[in-house]
Amino acid sequence: MPDPNPRRQRERSGFQLLHSPQTCATSRGGSGSQPTTSDETVVAGYKVVLRCLVEDPDDSSLQWSNPAQQTLYFGEKRALRDLRIQLENSTPNELTISIDNATLADEGEYTCSIFTMPVRTAKAIVTVLGIPQKPQISGYKEPLREGDMARLTCVTSGSKPAAQLWWQKGDIRLTSRDSEVSEDPNRKTFTVTSHVEFMVDKEDNGAEVTCTVDHASLQNSDKSTSQKIEVFYKPTAKIESFPNYPQEGQNLELRCAGQGNPIPQEFTWQKEGMDTLLSETQDNVLIFPNLNKSDSGVYICHATNIIGTTEARYNLAVNDASPMQRNGSTYHAVIGGVVAIVVFLLLILLIFLGHYLIRHKGTYLTHEAKGSDDAPDADTAIINAEGGQTGSDEKKEYFI
């Protein structure tokens, strides 16, 4: 059973020989001496094999003739001086020849004859496929602008039969207009032209548009050409703050990051509610050397390229702390309060301790003074200072 997939059928045949769906063409009559052949399809530049078979040759020779009815081989004998034509096999029942490096001029109806009475013949139609040239894309000259219409043209020539062209942008198949086909009568080949149109946006910047040729002669390989397109589009902008949570007294930078094609080179700054532009800028950076609450407000960055201008906004709130910062401040306040209480208690303790020491030191000096006044000598004074005064009194009571 023949393979229903013509591409696989061509794979089995290779470039040398491509069998057509018509497997056999026979002449009039049906005896055993009737030769049989088959139609063949070959790609230009490759070899085609023509085989003629007969069941009962009846001692007659087989002959192959070209479309011009020129004899190529009569049995084993070469009749035409074309070295591309070679004898593959010659027996009483078979005459097989080949034509190497087939050209479009080799296309036509070949005849196998057996010279019986009457002469019997069989026809074999050879079809030569013209290989299309690599397609050429035109129409793209310079970068497109967002919203422009891209118009591209693809041309391939040398195909036979006429090739098919299709377009693709990235992974997306594009719809093209009807192809234009023109024939070269001298070469018997065709030139095919295809046009495609589509509107571009910024997502198409850097995209590749591909034109591909589909033709039986190419078998599993396709010929294609790609055109990379560039699209200019309006920029986008975003403002970033350094540091992220500005506080009064800090230095602050607002940076305007711009993206686009081409990349924006001009940046201007403005505070909402003010008509004048701000001058404290360095390219795309707005600088605040010493923040104060009066700097709070909405700041606008304008980013510009050759396509247009876009703006980004940033709401600056000085000392507008985040929840994390508020928790940190509460924590520090509690720690500060505890430290203050501890210091206060230590201070009170020191005051009481100092008062106690001063009081006891005074009592000691008073007793020491009394003992020295009443004592006749130094030893008695010491004893009296340590409490000996009471003993003295008791002694006085004893003598009385």
End-to-end CA distance of the chain: 160
Residue 90, amino acid: S
If you write DSSP's letter for every residue of 373-385 in order, what string do you get? HH-SSHHHHHHII
* Separation CA 251–CA 295 (nearest Å): 12
SS3 328: helix
* Separation CA 15–CA 45 (nearest Å): 9
CATH architecture classification, 233-316: Sandwich (2.60)
Report H helices in 81-158: none
pLDDT at residue 383 tops 90: no
pLDDT at residue 379 tops 80: no
Among the ranges given (53-57, 184-188, 306-310, 384-388), the one the predictor scored with the smallest mean pLDDT: 384-388
* Separation CA 191–CA 366 (nearest Å): 135
pLDDT at residue 89 tops 90: yes
| For the chain, domain boundaries | 6-129, 136-229, 233-316, 332-392
- Cα 204–Cα 210–Cα 213 angle in degrees, nearest 5: 160
**Residues 165-192 pLDDT 10s:** 999 999 999 999 889 999 998 888 999 9
* Separation CA 340–CA 336 (nearest Å): 6
CB 43 within 8 A of CB 129: yes
Q: Can you name the residues that pair with 182 across neighbouring β-strands?
A: 191
Q: Which pLDDT score is estimated for 12?
A: 37
Q: Which pLDDT score is estimated for 187?
A: 81
What global pTM score does this model have?
0.65
Stretch 145-158: mean pLDDT, rounded? 96
H or E element: which one contains 253? strand 252-261
Asked if residue 118 has a cis previous peptide bond (ω within 30° of 0), the answer is yes
* Separation CA 24–CA 107 (nearest Å): 17
Mean pLDDT of the chain: 83
If you write DSSP's letter for every residue of 60-97 in order, what string do you get? --EEEE-TT--EEEETTEE-S--TTEEEEEEETTEEEE
Q: How confident is the model at residue 117 (pLDDT cuts 50, 70, 90)?
A: confident
Q: Which two tokens stand for residue 54?
A: 């007969």
- Cα 85–Cα 88–Cα 90 angle in degrees, nearest 5: 115
Q: Which pLDDT score is estimated for 22?
A: 38
Q: What CATH code would you report for 136-229?
A: 2.60.40.10
Fold of 6-129: Immunoglobulin-like (2.60.40)
Say which residues have a Cβ less than 8 Å from residue 382's Cβ, sequence separation at least 6.
Answer: 371, 375, 388
Say which residues have a Cβ less than 8 Å from residue 222's Cβ, sequence separation at least 6.
Answer: 212, 213, 214
Q: What percent of the chain has pLDDT over 70?
A: 78
* Separation CA 289–CA 390 (nearest Å): 82
H or E element: which one contains 242? strand 231-242
Q: Which two tokens stand for residue 387?
A: 């409490």
SS3 151: strand
233-316 shares the fold of 136-229 = yes
pLDDT at residue 207 tops 70: yes
More confident residue, 276 or 13: 276
Q: Which pLDDT score is estimated for 377?
A: 60
Say which residues have a Cβ less than 8 Å from residue 100's Cβ, sequence separation at least 6.
Answer: 47, 84, 85, 86
More confident residue, 241 or 333: 241
CB 41 within 8 A of CB 20: yes
Among the ranges given (54-63, 178-187, 205-214, 386-395), the one the predictor scored with the smallest mean pLDDT: 386-395
Q: Which two tokens stand for residue 349?
A: 């303790």
Edge to edge, the sheet with strand 120-129 lists: 18-19, 40-43, 120-129, 108-114, 62-65, 71-74, 77-78
**Residues 314-366 pLDDT 10s:** 999 987 444 444 454 555 667 877 888 988 888 888 888 877 787 766 554 55
Question: How far is the CA of 3 from the CAs of 17, 18, 47, 101, 244, in angstroms?
Answer: 16, 13, 22, 27, 70
Say which residues have a Cβ less than 8 Å from residue 203's Cβ, sequence separation at least 6.
Answer: none
Among the ranges given (64-73, 224-233, 255-264, 334-343), the one the predictor scored with the smallest mean pLDDT: 334-343
